[in-house]
Structure 1
């Protein structure tokens, strides 16, 4: 793969498949969702080897270190070789457990809950929230 000496951050993030389009990568930089040493950077920022960037996409936050410069977009297996994901385990674990929260569902076709059902649902939700906020220590 050809490597380049000067490369814009928006093009680099697009090439390593952090964003689907270069426009999305550029917009993320403009919105302050791409940071270098805690500071917002512009889409025209030059990428250098060894720099560490914090990239936020919705609830997903990644910390990546530049290992190689990549000018054109390549397949995902190849792109992984041009950056190192150094996201702390706590952040990745917190993101994944967010989707494993218990969901309350009613059987389809049972109709609207009665006043009594509604009170039971509210009590159950309150119990779940109280147990969640309690610290195991």
Structure 2
């Protein structure tokens, strides 16, 4: 962190530096879209994160709960970025379970298989009536 920062970093810049998002614009859009919560509340991109605060970050299928360990406004390599935060144990286990369920295909649409002849004809009637 440079000396002019004075220990203050914007939340969108910290999320970018911690490599949760590829660009600051994406981090800002996620914050404004309600995908980032600090202490259970939505926050603004200009919020100044503090060491020890807990953030809930939703990106794609994943929801991470992280505790801020250090502040940085400079984006560095992944090993250095991982030192900026610590993910909670329950968040890690929840993400692993969700990933395993997605991989097994248990979150998809469940059907009884191919429709029967009667069901196919009903679908065809429905489609022809709707059009």
TM-score tier after normalising by the smaller chain length:
0.7 to 0.9
Structure 1 residues 48-82: Cα deviation after superposition (integer angstroms, max 9, x where no partner): 11000000002110011111111110000111111
TM-score (structure 1 length as normaliser): 0.70
| Residues 48 and 99 of structure 1: CA distance in aligned 2, closer, same or farther (over 3 Å) | same
Richer in helix (by share): 2
- Aligned-pair distance for 1:2? 5.0
| Partner in structure 1 of residue 33 of structure 2 | 31
Q: Trace 1:1-137 onto structure 2 (pairs within 5 A).
A: 4=5, 5-86=7-88, 88=90, 89-102=92-105, 121-122=113-114
Equivalenced residue count is 107
Structure 1 residues 57-115: Cα deviation after superposition (integer angstroms, max 9, x where no partner): 02110011111111110000111111111151442133212322259xxxxxxxxxxxx
CA RMSD, Structure 1 to Structure 2 (Å): 2.2
CA distance in 2, matches of 1:22, 1:79: 15
Structure 1, unaligned stretches of length 5 or more?
104-119, 124-137
Structure 2, unaligned stretches of length 5 or more?
107-111, 116-131
Please give the secondary structure, in 2, of the residue aligned with 1:44: coil
